[in-house]
Structure 1
Amino acid sequence: MKPPPSQFGADITNNAARMICTKLAGRAVIRVVGRCNDAKENNNLDLSECQLMQVPDAVYHLLRHTELKACNLSSNVITKIPPKFAVNFSLITELNLSSNQMSKLPDELADLIELESLDLSHNAFINLPGVVYKMPKLKCLLANSNRIIEVDVDRLTASKSIESVDLRDNPLPRNTEIALNNVPRIRITLSPRELEEWEDLTIQN
C-alpha cells in the first residue's frame, strides 16, 4: 500500500536533507585531508574555517611523521584542545586558536617547547590561562576580544620570554589595568579606559 502523498513528499524531503548533510560532511573531510597533505609539504597546518568542533584524531594520524612548525585552527567552533595536541605537535612555533569557543587550555600545552606566538583572541576566556606563563619560549600572546577579568600579573611579570601581550577589548578591572601598566619590559596593549561617572566631572563656568 502506498503512503499518503503528503508523507511520501516528506520522505523525499528528509532523504534529500540527509544527502545534502552527507555531502557537506564529505566535503569537510576532503578539505581536512587536503590540508593535512599540504602540511606534509610545507610543515604548516591550516585548518581554519573547517567547521571543526575539535581536532579530528585522523589529523594526528595523517601527520604522525610530519614536523609541524605552525598550526592554524582559527574560525572554527572548537571548545577545547586535548592534551595529546602538545604531544603530537610539540615543535610548532606558531599556534592560532582565534575565533573559536574556548575558555580553557590544558596544562600540557606547556610542552610546546618551541612555541613563540599564541593567538587566543575572540574566544571565551575569563582569565589568562595559567599555562601561558609556563611556555618557555612564548614571546607574543594575543588575547584580545575575550571576557578576561583576571590576569596573574606577578606570574606575567616573572615570565622570562614573553615580550608582548594584547589584552584589548576585555572587561579588566581598573586595579588590574593599573598593575599591567606598571609591568616592566613587557609591551602590554590595553583598550583606552572610559572614565567612570565620578571621574568625568567638569566644572562649568
Structure 2
Amino acid sequence: KVYFGNNFIKDIPIEFCENLVHLKVLELRDNQIELVPNEITNLAHLTKLDLTNNDISELPNTIGLMPHLQSLKIEGNKLKQIRPDIIHTGTNRILRHLREKISDEEMQAICGKNLASRPGDNVFPDRYSMRNGNILNLALKNLSDVPDSCFEEAKEAKVTIVDLCKNKFTKVPEGLVLVAGYLTELNLSVNQLKELPDFVKDCNKLKFCDFSKNLLSTLPSSFVDMVSLRELILCNNKLTNVPDCVYGMVGLEILLLNDNGIEEINVEGLKKLKRLASLNLCNNNIHHVPPELGNMTQLRSLELKGNPFRQPRYAILEQGTDSILAYLRDKIPL
C-alpha cells in the first residue's frame, strides 16, 4: 500500500508502475497530476486507485481491463472523456465506460503485450477471482463462445455483472442463463450478434444492457417483460424502427438508439416510458419529428442531430433539449 495524497506530485513515473507490480492500494489524491501513463495497467494487482482532486484531463482506456480494481476514485479532475453522471455512478460504471472506449490501436497494443488473452490458459476466471467486484469480465478476449463451466463458477460467485464486450460472439452464450437470477448488468457490445435469445428476459433483475455495435435488426417480443431495465444501449446496429417491446420496458430512464436506420419516432410508444430522461436518436433516417414529442417534458436529454428532417432546424438542435421540446410544443396544432 502506498499513500501519496496531499503532496505536490505532478506526474506518475513510468518506472514506478513497472517496479511495483504487486501494489494493491495507491492513493494519489489532492496532488497536481495531469497525466496518467498507460503503464499504470502494469499494476495488475491494484484493488484501489484514488486520483481524486488532481488536474487529469484523460485516463488510459485500458484501466478498464485491470482485473482486480474494485475502487477507482476520479472526482475533482478535468476529465472530458467521461460524463459526470458516469463518474458519480461508481467504479464498475467507470470501468465499463473505459472498456467500451478502447480503440482498435489500443486493442492491438494490448494483444502485443499479451494482456488480451487468447482462448486457452487463464482466459476464464474462477469463482474466487470473480468475487472481487462480483463481475465476470471477459472483455477483449477474442472469444466466440464461453463454456458452461465458466458460468457455473460465476453462479457460485453470485456475479451481478457480465461483460463480454469486444469479442467475436455471433450468438449469446447459453450458459448465461445460469446467472440469470443474479444479473444486474450485461454488456455484449462490439460483437457480431444478429439476434438475441429469449432467455435474456429471464434476467429479471437487469438494470443495464449494452447491445451496441452489433448487427441487430430487432429484439425478441418477450423483452417486453424486462420492466426493471433502467438503461438500454442499442446504438450502431441495423434497426429500422424501435422494437415494440421497448415501449413495455416501463422502468427505462436511458435509451440510446443513435447510429441505426430508424425511420420514424413513435410518440405514443415513447409516452409509455414515464421515467425516460435521456433519448438519443442521432444519425438515423428520421424524416419527420412529431410535434407531440415536445410534450415529453420529463426528458433531460434529447439528441436528434444527423437525421434528414428539415424541422427543427440545426440551430434549434444546438440550443439543447429544453429549446427543442419548446419548439415542438409550439408546432402542435390547436
Using structure 1 for the length normalisation, give the TM-score: 0.72
Q: Distance in 2 between matches of 1:164 and 1:196?
A: 23
* 1:183 is the counterpart of 2:267: no
> CA 1:41–1:58 in 2, change beyond 3 Å: closer, same or farther?
same
Are 1:160 and 2:250 counterparts?
A: yes
Q: Aligned in 2, Cα 1:82/1:48: closer, same or farther, shift over 3 Å?
A: closer
Residues of 1 paired with 2:123 and 2:180: CA distance? Answer: 17
**The one of 186, 194, 203 aligned to 2:307:** 194
Maintained 8 Å contact 1:45/1:72: yes
Residues 65 and 196 (structure 1 numbering): CA distance in 2 closer, same or farther, change over 3 Å?
A: closer
How far does residue 196 in structure 1 lie from its aligned partner after superposition?
A: 6.3
Deviations 1:80-118 (A, max 9, x none): 114441233421111000000011111111110111000
Partner amino acid, structure 2, of 1:195: P
Gaps of 5+ in 1: 1-25, 201-205
SS at match of 1:63: helix
1:149-178 Cα shifts (integer Å, max 9, x gaps) = 13234x4333321222100000111xx2x3
Aligned length: 170
In 2 relative to 1, CA 172–61 (structure 1 residues): closer, same or farther, beyond 3 Å? Answer: same
Query: What is the TM-score of this pair, normalised by structure 2?
Result: 0.46
Indicate the larger mover: 137-146 or 54-63. 54-63
Asked whether the 8 Å contact 1:105–1:131 carries over to 2, the reply is no
The superposition leaves residues 118-159 of structure 1 with CA deviations (integer Å, 9 ceiling, x where unpaired) of: 000000001244343221311100000111113234x43333
For the pair 1:92 / 2:183, whether they are aligned, the reply is: yes
More helix per residue: 1
The percent identity for this pair of structures is 25
Unpaired runs of at least 5, structure 2: 1-116, 283-304, 314-334
Instruction: Kindly report the root-mean-square deviation, in angstroms, between the aligned alpha carbons of the 2 structures.
Output: 2.7
Residues 143/128 of structure 1: CA separation in 2 closer, same or farther (3 Å cut): same
Query: Aligned partners of 2:124, 2:270: CA distance in 1, in Å?
Result: 44
Offset from partner CA, 1:17-73 (integer Å, 9 cap, x none): xxxxxxxxx953333234764213331111001111012223123334110110100
Q: Compared with structure 1, are the counterparts of its residues 44 and 193 closer, same or farther at alpha carbon in structure 2 (3 Å cutoff)?
A: same
Deviation (angstroms), 1:182: 7.1
SS in 1 for 2:279: strand
For the Cα contact (< 8 Å) 2:127–2:157, is it kept in 1? no
Confirm or deny: 8 A CA contact 2:125 2:136 kept in the other structure: no
* Superposition map of 1:116-195 within 5 A: 116-153=207-244, 155-173=245-263, 176=264, 178-180=265-267, 183-184=270-271, 185=274, 186=276, 187-191=278-282, 192-195=305-308
CA distance in 2, matches of 1:147, 1:168: 11
**C-alpha distance in 1, partners of 2:151/2:190?**
22
C-alpha distance in structure 2 between counterparts of 1:83 and 1:27, whole Å: 21
Say which of 32, 46, 51 aligns to 2:123: 32
- Distance (whole Å) between structure 1 residues aligned to residue 243 and residue 125 of structure 2: 41
Aligned counterpart, 2:148: 57
AA aligned to 1:69 is T
